[in-house]
Amino acid sequence: MPPTFDPLPRAADRVVLRRLAPRDLVCFQRYRTDPDVARYQGWTPMSDHEAVAFLGAMGASPFCPPGEWFQIGIAEPQADVLIGDVGLRLSKTRHEAEIGFTLAPAFQGRGLATDAVRAALSLLFDTTPVARIVAVTDARNQPSIRLLERVGLQRVRTRNAMFHGGPCTEHVYAITRVR
Ligand SMILES: CC(C)(COP(=O)(O)OP(=O)(O)OC[C@H]1O[C@@H](n2cnc3c(N)ncnc32)[C@H](O)[C@@H]1OP(=O)(O)O)[C@@H](O)C(=O)NCCC(=O)NCCS
């Protein structure tokens, strides 16, 4: 059943943010099982069975349930093909949100993830009461750092962390609501 309040799909300049669906399985698995794509991500690749269940659950979930990751698709607008995804986690108090993003390698290097993340930031500011949106990135993840700075997030903290069983350095980026 489609959720009652649903601001998706949301058009960006050259991509569309839309709900994930089981029909995205092949495209989703192609990039999610790529070790280069997964290297700095908190998630681990899923089996096809798990991925179908995940895509269906995200497609049917309420928009941004507080305290949980909610994943949306980045689609190429003409053919509606999935080319990546954006994760949004609204805090339980709904005062802050965290964002994460992934783009399939074949579509990288053209500014499409930048379009998608800009649209996701506006979506959160327009449809939730968040005062601040944060993103956490591994300090070695230069494409992610460049993207975050391109869309206006600022580095607010650097911290040591454990990631995939090893020590790493993370940067925390943030952007504050201006209206
Ligand atoms: C992070 C990630 C989405 C960035 O992808 P990306 O393709 O570099 O980002 P964009 O699609 O916005 O493209 C930006 C690049 O295209 C170039 N570009 C070309 N045309 C452009 C345009 N019209 N507008 C903006 N950038 C454009 C930019 O110069 C930039 O290249 P640069 O970083 O070498 O300067 C991608 O590396 C990824 O999915 N990584 C794996 C998952 C991950 O680590 N996610 C981050 C976790 S926080």
Output the CA torsion 41→47→50→51 (10° steps).
60
The pLDDT of residue 2 is 53
Low-confidence spans in the chain with pLDDT less than 50? none
Please work out whether the CB of residue 112 comes within 6 Å of at least one atom of ligand 1: yes
Residue 13 CA to ligand 1 centre (angstroms): 15
The pLDDT of residue 50 is 98
User: What is the pTM for the complete model shown?
Assistant: 0.97
The pLDDT of residue 165 is 87
The pLDDT of residue 75 is 98
Q: How far is 31 from 115, CA to CA, in rounded Å? A: 19
Mutate which of 108, 117, 164 for ligand 1? The one with the most ligand atoms within 8 Å of its CB, which is 108
Q: Are 74 and 8 in contact (CB under 8 A)?
A: no
The pLDDT of residue 143 is 98
